Structure 1
Amino acid sequence: MPEQGWQKSSFSGSGNDCAEVRSINGLVELRESDDGDTVVRATSAAFADLLRTIKVGELDWFA
């Protein structure tokens, strides 16, 4: 993952409503492209745990 740039989710369409992620200063940052001022920062381990939690469906009840 590039240190300087945001990487768009492969599941995003062509609009500006997509999730973007980057790695900077040892942290993972996540934002929604249409609200670029709001950024969630986490350690790599915490981000990996979030992805695992999402993939196994543990957060589906929020949808």
Structure 2
Amino acid sequence: MTDALLWQKSSFSGGGDGNTCIELAAAPDHIHLRESEAPTTELTTATTPLGHLIRGLKSGQFRTTG
């Protein structure tokens, strides 16, 4: 049997009960992400690649010019 995930909403969601939030749940080696509007669909990733993505986004590595 697997343990239930503890889902948390983004602090940028305003803390309401609306369905326009990104939620995440941490497991020992993975992070689970879902949109509150579609909670049955989850994206699961390992913590290291997600950390690399977040650092790249914060540093502007993925900005495009147009």
Same fold (TM over 0.5): yes
**1:59 & 1:12 partners in 2: Cα distance?**
23
- Matched residues, percent identical? 36
Could you tell me how far 1:60 is from its partner in structure 2?
Answer: 4.6
**1:20 & 1:55 partners in 2: Cα distance?**
19
Which of 35, 47, 52 is the aligned partner of 2:50? 47
Structure 1 unmatched ranges of 5 or more: none
Could you tell me how far 1:21 is from its partner in structure 2?
Answer: 0.7
The alignment's TM-score, normalised by the length of structure 2, stands at: 0.71
| Gap change, CA 1:35 and 1:59, over 3 Å in 2 | farther
Deviations 1:2-60 (A, max 9, x none): x7311110011322110111112521111111011111111110111121122223445
Larger strand proportion of the pair = 1
The alignment yields a C-alpha RMSD, in angstroms, of 1.9
The alignment's TM-score, normalised by the length of structure 1, stands at: 0.73
Number of residue pairs matched by the alignment = 59
Which of 22, 25, 34 is the aligned partner of 1:31? 34
